[in-house]
Amino acid sequence: MSTAATSHLLPVFARVDLAFERGEGVWLYGTDGERYLDFTSGVAVNALGHAHPHLVAALQAQAAKLWHMSNLFRSPDGEKVAARLCEASFADLVFFANSGAEAMEAAIKLTRKFHAAGGHPERYRIITFEGAFHGRTLATLAAGGQEKYLEGFGPRVEGFDQVPLGDLEATKRAIGPHTAGILIEAVQGEGGVRSAPLSFFKALRQLCDEHGLLLVFDEVQTGMGRTGELFAYKWTGVTPDVMALAKALGGGFPVGACLATAHAAAGMTAGSHGSTFGGNPLAMAAAGAVLDVMLAPGFLDHVRRMSLVLKQKLAAVVDRYPDVLSEVRGEGLLIGLKAVVPAGDLVTALRGQKLLTVGAGDNVVRLLPPLIVTEAEIEEGVARLERACATLSEDHAGQKARS
Ligand SMILES: *Cc1c(COP(=O)(O)O)cnc(C)c1O
């Protein structure tokens, strides 16, 4: 039995009391009759905004033809999307999953299997970095190493060694006879839009080559145009052996992917991994349509241009409200605002101005506008940020005066 006031959804999310009935581009229309500027993109998922006509048409056309037929049979649509992802990246082979955590699970399994198939099953450990987030399955939680998420769920999955982000000496010390690979996010999203210096990525690549390790990039959040390149590893100047994608890959349709070189994937043979839904025709129609838009000439240029515009305007706001904000960071349209006030208060104040944003670690507020955002929409967003900062700045001053 339920009443209007109770929900039968498992209460694992601290949900805001706000619901939406429709979206269009960067706008979301609430059941409260208000219009919200969406700078969350469903946490970096709706990269092409809401109800993008090309995605809607692709999914509607596929929905009338074939939804699902399992991986018992050939997948011409999957082959096409995989070929395009490989053409646009370092990879030779793709495994399709349904989420970021699943794409990461495939990456972890592939990394272990690479060494087992090469005669070294004892090499299964993976080095990860503090502040990382790789998903909520048991293995990806162990990889992320965040105590607050691991507590209460029994013994943690073995085989992850965590070191501070950017600490090369600690990384070297962590490498031993059991090490299989190194796993890193090009930019830590959940961790607070933090990145290691480029020299660190270069050093990791060298370490992997010296020790025969696989370099694995978690690009679940950074991939698919978010940073102004189709994949963020292109900024780092190094090429990984394995890469996980999800979030924006389907533009809102759940799909993930693990990409790898043929060399790295050598251990993965028939029966070594699987998924019932992974890469089904609906998911492939969505991913194919996303690629149509993102690979069109000028798309990534637009993202980079909007990034510059947004960052410049944000820097001016940070200058004006040093008691609210202290820093703008990030790449492309994965932007972090380091807050002086509690980041949660800023997210709430922004929502009061009908601008939706998402918090992250390190007291950061993430701005993740759809990549199709225009300069006018950015101006609108920044104006709303200014208004929110003004209210917080007054609150702040008031509190100080009272105390
Ligand atoms: C969101 C995210 C994941 C997990 O993706 P899910 O689809 O929620 O399982 C993994 N890694 C990174 C970097 C992410 O941002």
Task: Give the CATH number of the domain where residue 359 resides.
Answer: 3.90.1150.10
For ligand 1, the distance from its centroid to the CA atom of residue 284, given in whole angstroms, is 19
Cβ neighbourhood burial of 263 (10 Å; 0-12, 13-18, 19+): exposed
- Mean pLDDT for the stretch of residues 270-294: 98
Domain-located, residue 317: yes
* Residue whose CB lies within 8 A of the most ligand 1 atoms, among 46, 102, 133, for a mutation test: 133
Give the model's pLDDT for residue 394: 82
| 298 confidence band (pLDDT: 50, 70, 90) | very high
CB atoms within 10 A of CB 210: 10
Question: Is residue 15 a part of any domain in this protein?
Answer: no
Question: Please, which pLDDT band fits residue 370 given cuts at 50, 70 and 90?
Answer: very high
Closest ligand 1 atom to residue 136 Cα is 9
Q: Are residues 111 and 160 in the same domain?
A: yes
Tell me, what's the pLDDT at 6? 80
**2 band by pLDDT with thresholds 50, 70 and 90:** very low
Instruction: Decide if 47 contacts 263 (C-beta within 8 A).
Output: no
Q: How many domains does the chain have?
A: 2
Residue 403 has a pLDDT of 61
Q: How far apart are CA 314 and CA 90, in angstroms?
A: 34
Looking at the CA of residue 188, tell me the nearest atom of ligand 1.
Answer: 13
Q: CA 70 to CA 188: how far, in whole Å?
A: 34
Whether 191 maps to a domain, the answer reads yes
| Alpha carbon of 324 to ligand 1 centroid (Å) | 29
How much distance in Å is there from the Cα of 101 to the middle of ligand 1? 6
Assess if residue 125 is contained within a domain: yes
Answer yes or no: is 218 within a domain: yes
For the full predicted model, state whether its pTM sits above 0.95. Answer: yes
Helices within 216-366 (DSSP H only): 233-236, 281-294, 299-320, 343-352
Select from 294, 317, 335 the last residue of a domain.
Answer: 294
Q: What is the model's pLDDT at position 5?
A: 57
pLDDT of residue 395: 75
Of the residues 46, 165, 188, 190, which should be mutated to test ligand 1's pocket, given the most ligand atoms within 8 Å of the CB? Answer: 190
390 C-alpha to ligand 1 centroid (Å): 33
| Same-domain status, 46 and 63 | no
In this predicted structure, the answer to whether residue 180 has a pLDDT above a threshold of 50 is yes
Secondary element (H or E) of residue 180: strand 179-184
Confidence at 165, pLDDT banded by 50, 70, 90? very high
Confidence of residue 322 (pLDDT cuts 50, 70, 90): very high
CA of 163 relative to ligand 1 center, distance in Å: 20
Q: Which helix (H) or strand (E) holds 331?
A: strand 325-331
CATH code of residue 130:
3.40.640.10
Same domain, 147 and 83: yes
Residue among 220, 231, 334 whose CB has most ligand 1 atoms within 8 A, to mutate: 220
Which of 254, 270, 294 is the last residue before a domain boundary?
294
- In the chain, the percentage of residues whose pLDDT exceeds 90 is 96
Burial code (b: 16+ CB inside 10 Å, e: under 16) for 220-237 equals: bbbbbbbbbbbbbbbbbe
Atom of ligand 1 at shortest range from CA of 221: 15
Is 90 exceeded by the pLDDT of residue 401?
no
Residue 396: its pLDDT value, please?
67
- Mutate which of 96, 134, 217, 258 for ligand 1? The one with the most ligand atoms within 8 Å of its CB, which is 134
Ligand 1 centroid–CA 52 distance in Å is 23
Domain assignment of residue 9, yes or no: no
Q: Which domain holds residue 212?
A: 53-294
Domain identity same for 287 and 370: no
> Which domain-ending residue is among 261, 294, 327?
294
Atom of ligand 1 nearest to the CA of 219: 13
């050939």: which residue's tokens? 74
Q: How far is the CA of 182 from the centre of ligand 1 (A)?
A: 17
Query: Which of 131, 45, 149 minimizes the C-alpha distance to 358?
Result: 45
CA of 205 to the centre of ligand 1 (A): 23
Residues with CB under 6 A from ligand 1: 99-101, 104, 133-135, 185, 189-190, 218, 220-221, 246-247
Nearest CA to ligand 1 atom 15: 221
Q: What distance in angstroms lies between residue 219's CA and the mean position of ligand 1's atoms?
A: 9
User: What is the pLDDT averaged over residues 7-16?
Assistant: 95
Residue 185 Cα: closest atom of ligand 1: 13
The pLDDT of residue 199: 98
